Amino acid sequence: MTARTMSRTQALFAVHLVGLLFGTCGILGELIDADASVITWGRAACAIVVLSVVSRFASNSGLRGLLQHGRWWALIVSGAMLAIHWATFFISVKVGGIAVATLGFASFPAFITLIEWGVLRERVTRPEWLRLICVTLGLILVTPSFDFSDAGTEGLLWGLLSGAGFGVLAVLNRRYLSNIDAFYVAGLQNLIVFLLLSPWAMPLLPAVSLASWGWILVLGVACTGLAHLLFVASLRVLHARTAGLVVALEPVYAILFAWVLFAQVPTIRTIAGGLIMIAAILSASLAVRKAASH
């Protein structure tokens, strides 16, 4: 299956898988004993290798396609946004913990909607606003505390910055890079991340343990190479707002993983918020399927 042949149903399945893979990033970020720049640099390096083997993304044809479409600037900006998104997310994990980081990142559907409505002047339907409100309400319920006197507040702010970076990335991918092969887009964006963070990460590499390198490998191959490619490919078919709402399941997955792996049992309020989010995302999925049947 390629990005060119992906149907709406396949795109929905792909973006749900992206949400599951993204949900493991906070867990891995907690397990990896390294600076956020090293984690981000390592996952980008792994993704570059994976995408090189799968698609030979760095071929001259891919570069010519970007130049012919005049979208090189969008590639550079989106790569920078990807670096900001990843680095700030892992800072959030280290400072505020897994729940705070994933909840902060999950704000990105709001940034997508605001960018497309306020900057790009695209029409946002009433059901889409309603789903966004439901996701926001779910996030408020899932959030354990809004105490601005502890480290959780700083972690949440880093998580919100991560969500903003991802929102800009998603809109750029859909609006300006959708005509370029998804393999090239994903691979070259990871290459930009690798190059941008090399000056900060490389001096810290000798201090990284073998176990941490193993987790970085998992993060780079499964949660970066595969997940990033699937997300870019799905945006060829799905609206960025719909894809964003689906991937917003990440905090739900993260909470479930933390429950199973670390015995961190969620509260009734957390469960209620998760159910509201799931209902909103299922509604978005059903709306896409209905549109595909017409």
Pick 39 or 262 by higher pLDDT: 39
Single pTM value for the model: 0.80
Asked if the model's pLDDT at residue 231 lies above 90, the reply is no
Task: Please report, as a single letter, which amino acid is at residue 282.
Answer: L
| Per-residue pLDDT tens over the stretch 182-219 | 777 888 899 999 999 999 999 999 999 999 999 999 99
Pick 65 or 222 by higher pLDDT: 222
- Length reported for the chain: 294
R_g over Cα of the chain: 18
Query: How does residue 101 score in pLDDT terms, banded at 50, 70 and 90?
Result: confident
Q: Where are the domains of the chain?
A: 3-202+218-293
Asked if the model's pLDDT at residue 271 lies above 60, the reply is yes
The percent of residues above 70 in pLDDT, for the chain, comes to: 83
Helix (H) or strand (E) holding 13: helix 8-23
* The pLDDT of residue 70: 66
| Per-residue pLDDT tens over the stretch 45-65 | 998 888 787 766 555 555 565
Rounded distance, CA 86 to CA 91, Å? Answer: 9
The percent of residues above 90 in pLDDT, for the chain, comes to: 23
Asked if the model's pLDDT at residue 269 lies above 60, the reply is yes
Rounded distance, CA 231 to CA 204, Å? Answer: 30
| Per-residue pLDDT tens over the stretch 165-186 | 998 998 888 888 877 777 778 8
Rounded distance, CA 129 to CA 273, Å? Answer: 18
Task: Please report, as a single letter, which amino acid is at residue 197.
Answer: L
Task: Please report, as a single letter, which amino acid is at residue 123.
Answer: R
* The pLDDT of residue 61: 56
